[in-house]
Structure 1
Amino acid sequence: MDAPSSRLKDLLQVQLASDSYAVLHLPFVLETLTKSDFLPSSHTQKWIARVNSLIHSKDPAAKWSGLCLAHQTAVFSREIMLECAQSWVAAGMPLLVNQPAPTAKAAMRLLRLVFSNATDVPEFQRQLCTPNVPKFANALIAMAGKETNPELYLLAVETLTHIVTLYPSLCRPLHGSLSTLALCHLNGSSPTPTPSGHVEACSRLYAVLLLTGGKVNAPNLWRKSLDDTIAFTWGAFLQLRTTFADRGHGNIARPAPSAEDPVVAVPLALDRLRAAVQVVKDMLSTPTSRPVALPAGALVRLCSALLQCSPDEKADVHVDHAVRSLENSVISHLWRFACELLGSLSHAGQHHVTPHLSMLLTHLAFHLEQSRVPAHTLLLLRTVSTLLTNDAKLHDDIVASRLARSVMPFLSVVLSKRSTSSGDDEQGAGQGRSKKSKKRTRGYEGDEVFKVGREVVCTTANEGEVLLASVDVLESLLLRTPVNPPVHSIASRLCLSVYASLPQLPPVMLSPDLSLHSRLSAKLQRVCVNLAIGTTSTMSKSLGLLLSVSDHTAGPTGDLAEVLLHPRIPPLVRSLPHVEMLSLFRAEEGEEEIDVRNRVGLRVLSEPAMEPDVAEKLTPQVQQSNTSNTPRNLPGAKRNTGSSTAQEPALVPMQVDVPPAPTPSTVPRIPQLAQSSQHSIELQAAPIPTVNDPVAQNLLPPPPDPLSSDSAGLGPSSTATVIPPATTHMTPIATSTGEDDDDEPMPTIDLGSDSDSE
């Protein structure tokens, strides 16, 4: 590596030898320079002289290159910046007016760095910053007022925001001009909305103007500005609800109907609401010198009003249907604004949001229970996660359980799905009929049998983010809120089932983004480890399954080791937890757990998915057949391998109910049984579940088949052939076709045709 002095020498002799060379080789020079190049040497003063000559050059391109070199020099060497700041400020200030955009932007960045890089040097502040900062701010206000170049305008407003934050006292005389500049893009525009970059830049500038009031008056200005912004937000919101019934939002009066065309009035009100929400968010994140009174109640009422909007609300008697349709079209934007406000309020208010947390989460749970697009679902889930992870505490078990039930279906899509096809219904309905009345079924009659591709679980990026966000919400609910024991048990088993089935699901079948598989597995492992810790006196029953699954995954095992080494107090010292909190076996399920599992669409292999009317018709016949056979759930019951109906396993995996698929062609019964038997043997040979682990018998779903959308063991008929993993031997299924021969007519024998009778 060359010495610093030789590098500056080479750059001065070759790349910066002339003004044209300096412009041509500027990118190479900026990439080559390092901090060590500006150590004291004989070439430092030559470098400074060359940079100053470029800044004072008459060529605009050379002037621009000199400003860029001065900025890079100030970044790497503070000593050189303090030495040359006076000359650079004197040369850069006139370049803010009537100059090309690149030159003005370079001068603006250089002056901003000079005024910000030496705030701890009192003499530098007194001699250079105090007289020049107001001039610099005035020049920026004049430049932003022209709005000739959008990039130049945004840079000017952002620089003003930075300067006002550093020098609020020096900018106090400019408060009126700064307010006018900030509010020019916050009043909305129609029919073309204001660019989002302009709204965000002006909002940040408006949020820091309160600092000009000083340490004493700044909190009062902050509260007054926030109250005015909230009132402005209510006005814009109510302008979007003119055709809906008045809910009586506190002391907020409904504004008079606008005389403008609704095609112009509705977009204008929406743009104003967007700007007002952005201002509230920026003001909640603005630091103040002294504590301020946060109007949490007013903000919560505003968020609640936004979340309660629905297109199904009753309208007034006489409304314009065109205006009604326009106002209905912006309801999704109102929900998004509410979620953004709640996120900022949760970060700023923290435990002050606790009294309103139950009401807010109830609104969010209602929206999660509805059918929304993945983008809206993702926003709702992230808002719920933000509210639960901050200092606010939820003490309502009803709301927590409702949230858990509404979130579980988003995660259950990873499990194997079972569809109720017509062939399965026929086989289920045929169990109550005798052999004589059965008819041979013919398959391969429809196009459904040629479906060989399995659908990807998450086809878009938003759907994958919904999976990750649902895991975060379930983790917060199960570990930080008082969820009801049945819901807690079902949610724990769901997380374990998905975590155990992920190694059997190829990453390409989960999402086009291959990293989603590892991220989801890591999140689920963290949740399952926290659930496996149990209490101070006992571990969870899921520990064995968690260890067996983690042996075959590449996830970290440090948390698992911590679980194993965690000291425990004997059970006699502390009371044991409820059985429902650690329930993993189907035999321990109560009626509430079964009801919760059915409500969220989770079933097990031994529960055939039949219509209610079909189930009522088959109930007497099934009961009669059960009384004549061996009881299924008795531990000592033996398996009858020769019977057509096998014993129902006591421990079965979870699956997800999906709507009925198109009616496929029926398949002959014997090949179906053979296929199911083969599938059950493959299940037994799967490397993830252990053979003697009873927990794995209840949680592991069948491995997803990458070539088929409906696995062979997913229908009700497969429940008669699935062998429980706890069995140490596998019994083959007889494939005799004797039952089909009973349907053939018995051939008659003609005794008169015998040759002996002649």
Structure 2
Amino acid sequence: MDSHPLKTLLHHHLASDASAVQHVPYTLASLTPAALLPSPHSSKWSARITSLLHAKTSDARWAGLCLAQKSALLSQPVMIESAQSWIAVALPLLAVRSLFLPRLNLMYLRTKRKESPPVLRAAIRLLRVIFTTATEMPEFQRQVATPNVAKFTVALISLVETCLDEELKILLLSTLTRIIPIYPTLHRPHQPALTALCFVYLNGNACKPPNAKLTTAASQLYAVLHLTGGKVGAANLWRKAVDDALDFGWTALSSIRTTFLADGRLPQVQSASEPITSVPLNLDRLRCCIVILGDLFSAPVHRLVQVPLGALVKFALALLTCSKEEKVETHLDPTTRMMESLATPRIWALSCDLITALANRQVFLGEAGPVHLTTLQSFGSHLTPSAPRIATCIAFQLEQELTPSERLPFLDALEALFSRCYTTHATLVVNRLAKTVLPCASSVLSQQEETPVVELESNGRSKKGKRVRDFEGDEVFKIRQVVCPTTVDGQIVLRAFAVLQLLLRNGGLSPALQSIVCRVCLSALLALAQMTPASLSPDVRLHALLSATIQKTCVEFASASVDGLSKSLGLIVSTCLAAGTLQHEIEYLLHPRLPPLLRTMPGIEALSLFRTEESEEESHLIKSFGLASVAPSAPPVVRAGSEPVTLLPKRQPTAPAAQPLAPAVEPPAALIFRPTPPAPKPPLKAPSPALKVGPAPAEAPTLPVPMDVEGDETNEDMPSIDLDSDSDSE
């Protein structure tokens, strides 16, 4: 019969303090809820943990705290039985120096030793588990939790002010964020201290780069402080927090736009510091404002609260419409002007973050009319009246010369906006966005082989006197370019196809743009099937994500009509088989959830898949997008030293063959620099001795003629023979 797990651990791994410290990882991995069920060894287990907590060495105390936390997580009866004794040991470990104790009324937490950060982390995690579990037991809350939560909060506030370890600060702030919603009334006296603590990390910093994790932890703590007002006052405190954050953001924005016009005049902002410090400081404050607003939107509330969507959209548009270059007739400080201009792309990114937060957060529409916040529905749909204005501003920014890192936030904002809002009927905005996003998506199709260039002299030889040949195996040494060399480039392509999918669902997209977008998606789907993940991006996961997005788009517009299904089913099935996602797509095709007539997608029969079917508008758009390079690669370009050499284009595989005007005209293979055979009918006009390759006459069709570059030296021109000549008679 096997021995009990606790007996084995107690006899072999926890026999001494040093052995307990050494075997902590194995002991924690071996503990299970079944091992902590009531047994004769349970009391010995609790006694061993208590002895480790009272050990003289810090490593033994750390081992005891870890074992106590694991036991509290796995067994609630063990935690309830030993919680009081564990709190009596762990809480004094969080005491700070006696200098801070009189101000915080923590004389009962005085300790003579200073604990190490690992011991502090273990003690905080143990107390957090004790105070956040067993909340359904009122007696445990009344006797154990309620008397100690306030002491725990004060100790955490003091520890945040004194410790220097950033990871420990993040743990302290996240613990306060977890404790306050459970005990809001107990934290009401500490609300001013907690607010001041949050703004220590949310007031910006111009001297060192921002710590995003620390800022997020402080913002999340600030977002739950309104719960201390109770069920009645929490709604007013939440609205006040949103208004204060907006005022904070407007102040920061006006402080970094002192050299740009606002409402036709320069803002009257008096900066007390140099621009080299004031601009980074206010830019960081603006970042903190956006983080605070995003966390306030997702904060829990007990009752409905009003969301000031109008003020939020106005602030987002003010950030989005900032410009880099703006002429001002008055004299300005060039240093301030340059630094504020350089901060503009970061302001655009923050505006996109705010728009994304507005579109993705959770709200509910109350009976009285204004938008109210809960955790049930998204209030992105309530942005529909403002969506055309936001989309117009984003379209204008995308039309400018932007770097990939500057372009990506706009695409993220567009995806969030159109995925949450209702369909907009602003046709100009939708078509304008499609024209600006389509070049980003078509970069997948721009992977064309470079045209080889051969420099020849007039006699057909190279400059060194040797013929130029392509040796076998040269392709091994050619470097293949990656389509998306950076992660940002890959994310741009992925977001661009996601936005195009959302735009295709809009009925305001013009037929020409619908056709072009669908053709680009089909071409990209075929190109990705023949492309390895490594040739697409250094991130091999991008290939699968991009293929899934494009497949979903193709399936959507393929199911727009029954005729389109029959024409595109083979393509969709083949691509889905390669990706391993066949079942969902076939189920969607066989059992569509909406009737085909209600879809806004163009049918496959409405797409112009050949150049001969393109309209003038579609041809013009394709040329403006730079998609004409999707055609087969051009022939080698030959540069001559003295005589011009004219190359005729290759035959296009999709172009229709021209009807010959005369029956004596031979196929293109017979037109490779050789004498014309005699014909029984009136002969063709013989070429002159100095043969010159040029365009065909207007009445004859233009035929592509391949050129033999290497045989120019040996194949000389043969003069034509006149059969009607009477030279023999002379």
TM-score (norm 2): 0.78
Instruction: Name the residue aligned to 2:284.
Output: 271
Q: Determine the C-alpha separation between the residues in 1 that align with 2:558 and 2:515.
A: 12
Shift of 1:633: 4.7
Instruction: Name the residue aligned to 1:694.
Output: none
Q: Determine the C-alpha separation between the residues in 1 that align with 2:61 and 2:322.
A: 57
Instruction: Name the residue aligned to 2:327.
Output: 314
- SS of aligned partner of 2:185: coil
Shift of 1:138: 1.1
Evaluate the alpha carbon distance shift between residue 569 and residue 17 of structure 1 in structure 2; reply closer, same or farther with a 3 A threshold. closer
Instruction: Name the residue aligned to 1:78.
Output: 76
Per-residue CA distance 1:383-430 (angstroms, 9 max, x = gap)? 211111114432222212222221221222222556897979x9xxxx
Map 1:27-106 onto structure 2 (within 5 A).
27-98=25-96, 99-100=114-115, 101-106=117-122
Higher relative contact order (CA 8 A, sep 6+): 1
Instruction: Name the residue aligned to 2:416.
Output: 386
Q: Determine the C-alpha separation between the residues in 1 that align with 2:301 and 2:156.
A: 25
Q: Determine the C-alpha separation between the residues in 1 that align with 2:169 and 2:360.
A: 31
Instruction: Name the residue aligned to 1:14.
Output: 12
Which of 256, 264, 286 pairs up with 1:240? 256
Instruction: Name the residue aligned to 2:353.
Output: 340
Shift of 1:544: 5.2
Residue 215 (1) aligns with residue 231 (2): yes
Map 1:316-331 onto structure 2 (within 5 A).
316-331=329-344
Instruction: Name the residue aligned to 2:195.
Output: 179
Q: Determine the C-alpha separation between the residues in 2 that align with 1:576 and 1:232.
A: 45
Instruction: Name the residue aligned to 1:229.
Output: 245
Q: Determine the C-alpha separation between the residues in 1 that align with 2:155 and 2:119.
A: 15
Q: Confirm or deny: 8 A CA contact 1:193 1:268 kept in the other structure.
A: no
Shift of 1:495: 0.3
Instruction: Name the residue aligned to 1:695.
Output: none
Q: Confirm or deny: 8 A CA contact 1:97 1:104 kept in the other structure.
A: no
Instruction: Name the residue aligned to 1:506.
Output: 532
Shift of 1:201: 1.8
Evaluate the alpha carbon distance shift between residue 399 and residue 66 of structure 1 in structure 2; reply closer, same or farther with a 3 A threshold. same
Instruction: Name the residue aligned to 1:561.
Output: 586
Q: Determine the C-alpha separation between the residues in 1 that align with 2:593 and 2:121.
A: 65
Which of 436, 444, 452 pairs up with 1:406? 436
Instruction: Name the residue aligned to 1:163.
Output: 179
Shift of 1:247: 3.2
Shift of 1:462: 1.9
Q: What amino acid does structure 1 have at the position aligned with 2:301?
A: T
Instruction: Name the residue aligned to 1:518.
Output: 544
Percent sequence identity is: 39
Evaluate the alpha carbon distance shift between residue 740 and residue 274 of structure 1 in structure 2; reply closer, same or farther with a 3 A threshold. same
Shift of 1:223: 0.8
Q: Confirm or deny: 8 A CA contact 1:243 1:316 kept in the other structure.
A: no
Residue 149 (1) aligns with residue 147 (2): no
Q: Determine the C-alpha separation between the residues in 2 that align with 1:411 and 1:165.
A: 45
Per-residue CA distance 1:14-55 (angstroms, 9 max, x = gap)? 211112221222122112212221122111110011101111
Q: Determine the C-alpha separation between the residues in 2 that align with 1:420 and 1:640.
A: 38
Which of 607, 616, 623 pairs up with 1:598? 623
Q: Confirm or deny: 8 A CA contact 1:646 1:721 kept in the other structure.
A: no
Q: Confirm or deny: 8 A CA contact 1:500 1:549 kept in the other structure.
A: no
Map 1:623-662 onto structure 2 (within 5 A).
633=656, 642-644=666-668
Structure 1, 285-294 or 255-264: larger mean CA deviation: 255-264
| Gapped regions of structure 1 (runs ≥ 5) | 427-438, 611-624, 626-631, 648-668, 671-718, 723-732, 748-758
Q: Confirm or deny: 8 A CA contact 2:261 2:328 kept in the other structure.
A: yes
Instruction: Name the residue aligned to 2:500.
Output: 474
Per-residue CA distance 1:208-257 (angstroms, 9 max, x = gap)? 111111111111111111111101101101111111112369xxx94522
Q: Determine the C-alpha separation between the residues in 2 that align with 1:545 and 1:355.
A: 41
RMSD: 4.0
Q: Confirm or deny: 8 A CA contact 2:504 2:601 kept in the other structure.
A: no
Instruction: Name the residue aligned to 1:289.
Output: 302
Instruction: Name the residue aligned to 1:486.
Output: 512
Q: Determine the C-alpha separation between the residues in 2 that align with 1:142 and 1:575.
A: 60
Q: Confirm or deny: 8 A CA contact 2:231 2:302 kept in the other structure.
A: yes
Q: Confirm or deny: 8 A CA contact 1:541 1:583 kept in the other structure.
A: no
- SS of aligned partner of 2:485: coil
- SS of aligned partner of 1:34: coil
Q: Confirm or deny: 8 A CA contact 1:358 1:399 kept in the other structure.
A: yes
Which of 572, 586, 591 pairs up with 2:611? 586
Which of 454, 461, 470 pairs up with 2:487? 461
Q: Determine the C-alpha separation between the residues in 1 that align with 2:130 and 2:600.
A: 66
Shift of 1:605: 6.8
Per-residue CA distance 1:517-575 (angstroms, 9 max, x = gap)? 3332222222111111014x643575156247438734422245336534899999999
Shift of 1:503: 2.4
Count of equivalent residues: 633
Q: Confirm or deny: 8 A CA contact 1:346 1:386 kept in the other structure.
A: yes
- SS of aligned partner of 2:224: helix
Per-residue CA distance 1:152-181 (angstroms, 9 max, x = gap)? 222222111111121111111111111111
| Gapped regions of structure 2 (runs ≥ 5) | 97-113, 362-378, 636-648, 650-654, 674-701, 721-730
Q: Determine the C-alpha separation between the residues in 2 that align with 1:153 and 1:572.
A: 58
Instruction: Name the residue aligned to 2:557.
Output: 531
Instruction: Name the residue aligned to 1:396.
Output: 426
Q: What amino acid does structure 2 have at the position aligned with 1:339?
A: C
Q: Determine the C-alpha separation between the residues in 2 that align with 1:477 and 1:70.
A: 55
Instruction: Name the residue aligned to 1:664.
Output: none
TM-score (norm 1): 0.75
- SS of aligned partner of 2:484: coil
Evaluate the alpha carbon distance shift between residue 303 and residue 316 of structure 1 in structure 2; reply closer, same or farther with a 3 A threshold. farther
Q: Determine the C-alpha separation between the residues in 1 that align with 2:191 and 2:61.
A: 33
Evaluate the alpha carbon distance shift between residue 28 and residue 419 of structure 1 in structure 2; reply closer, same or farther with a 3 A threshold. closer
Shift of 1:589: 1.9
Q: Confirm or deny: 8 A CA contact 1:532 1:563 kept in the other structure.
A: no
Per-residue CA distance 1:61-82 (angstroms, 9 max, x = gap)? 2122111110010011111111
Q: What amino acid does structure 1 have at the position aligned with 2:306?
A: A
Per-residue CA distance 1:592-619 (angstroms, 9 max, x = gap)? 2112212211116779999xxxxxxxxx
